[in-house]
Amino acid sequence: MAEPLIEARSLVKRFDSFVAVDGIDIDVQPGEAFGFLGPNGAGKTSTMRMIGCVSPVSAGSLTIFGLDPRLDGRDIRSRIGVVPQMDQLDAELTVEENLIIYARYFDIKKGEARRRTSDLLDFVQLTEKAGDKVDHLSGGQKRRVSIARSLISEPELLLLDEPTTGLDPQARHVLWDRLYRLKERGATLVLTTHFMDEAEQLCDRLVVMDRGKIVAEGSPRSLISQYSTREVLEMRFGRDRNKEHLDEVEAVGERVEVLPDRLLVYAADGEGVLATLRERNVVPDSALVRRSSLEDVFLRLTGRSLAD
């Protein structure tokens, strides 16, 4: 196995008395798409900022490309690309100028910067917007410019902090498509997300974070099989009546979660469970059987839903 690109041991980030990251271990291999999954405030962004060398490590060890951010921050930063959570594009410049000047920050020659800019605008499908001011772009287009900009230095590692938060579904799919292509080309991606579908789509391997700690680790599929069942039956009985049939439901499902608006029953065969319940005169207002997702993994691990 190759030497890991990122290696963290007992990594801690403290802000005064608040512990944002509480002793995590991570290894990210070259060519991997690695995800941090967790709700807001789980410590994902703090971890990303430490990896990006814009936030000092409070305790523990962290190496990127085998280098120490404390001593070689500049060298590390010159080899990574960053897509921040909020777009930090240069509003005073055009799309094209944004990319060119960003290349200059990496000391890339002007001619080369121009060549890469036109290639990357082509890649993110924004060639016709090259001369537009960034302000005039939509949210999804801005995010694509951010991604193009992060790639201008041909980084060995790409950090994406919540790449699709705040985008509409169509824009998200366009973005996923571009990221998937990057992945196919062998780029190493590290991303944070609180969207289960995003993690399932893009990540080879992920860690689930909650309150600064890693609570589970693995591929999306293995996490689901380890912490959930194949299917989930969602039932609604109407307000305040979800708990009335709890005993009967618990008797047939492997595990039951009571949420304010619905009951989740974990089982290998959701339809079978629903049929059995109907036979026993437990008839919900509505019922839905779906495949288990990372959302269920998170609920199982933390007792909370991710949307909180």
Partner 1 sequence: MTLTATTRSSMVTRIIPDVLFDVRRPQRLIERSVMVYRRSPMVIFSGFFEPLFYLLSMRVGLSSLIGDVEVGGRLVPYAEFVAPGLMASAAMNGAVFDSTMNVFHKWKHARLYDSLLATPLSAGDVAVGEIGFAVLRGVLYSGAFLVTMLALAMVQSPWMILSLPACALIGSAFAAMGMACTTFMRSWADFEYVPAVTLPLFLFSATFYPVSSYGDWSWVLQLSPLYHGVALVRAANLGEFSIGVLGHLAVLVSVTVIGVAVTARRIETLLLK
Applying CB under 8 A, the residues found at the interface with partner 1 are 15, 52, 54-56, 70-71, 73-75, 77-78, 82, 84, 86, 88-93, 97, 101-102, 104-107, 153
Number of CB atoms found within 10 A of residue 276's CB: 17
**Cα gap 100→86, rounded to integer Å:** 20
Q: Which is nearer to partner 1, 145 or 252 (CB)?
A: 145
Q: Which is nearer to partner 1, 212 or 253 (CB)?
A: 212
**Residues comprising the chain, all counted:** 308
Compare residues 2 and 71 and give the one whose CB is closer to partner 1: 71
Q: Give per-residue burial for 206-233: e unless 16+ CB within 10 Å, then b.
A: bbbbbebbbbbbbebeebbeebbbebbb
Q: Taking the complex as a whole, how short is the minimal distance between the CB of residue 163 and partner 1, in angstroms?
A: 15
C-beta atoms surrounding 4 within 10 Å: 17
HEC string of 195-244 equals: CHHHHHHHCCEEEEEECCEEEEEECHHHHHHHHCCCEEEEEECCCCCCCC
d(CA 201, CA 180): 9
**Closer residue to partner 1, CB minimum distance, 13 or 183:** 13
Quick one: 89 or 126, whose CB is closer to partner 1? 89
Lookup: tokens for 181: 């292509």
Give the shortest CB-168-to-partner 1 separation in angstroms.
Answer: 23
In the complex, the smallest distance separating the C-beta of residue 171 from partner 1, rounded to whole angstroms, is: 21
Structure tokens at 87: 């777009």
Our CB check for partner 1 shows the closer of 90 and 204 to be 90
Residue number, 78 or 127, with CB nearest to partner 1: 78
Structure-block tokens of residue 262: 């619905």
- Report in angstroms how near the CB of residue 124 gets to partner 1 at its nearest: 17
User: What is the rounded distance in angstroms from the CA atom of residue 262 to the CA atom of residue 104?
Assistant: 54
* Cα distance between residue 212 and residue 19, in whole Å: 7
Going by DSSP bridges, is the β-strand pair 213-218/231-236 parallel, antiparallel, or unpaired? unpaired
Minimum distance of partner 1 from residue 84's CB (angstroms): 7
DSSP 293: -
Q: Which is nearer to partner 1, 107 or 247 (CB)?
A: 107
Q: Which tokens hold the place of 191?
A: 């991303």
Spatial distance between the Cα atoms of 228 and 34, rounded to a whole number of angstroms: 21
Bridge partners, 21 (sequence order): 13
CB of residue 91 to partner 1, shortest distance in Å: 5
In the complex, what is the shortest distance from the CB of residue 45 to partner 1, in angstroms, rounded to a whole number?
12
Shortest distance in whole angstroms from residue 268 CB to partner 1: 46
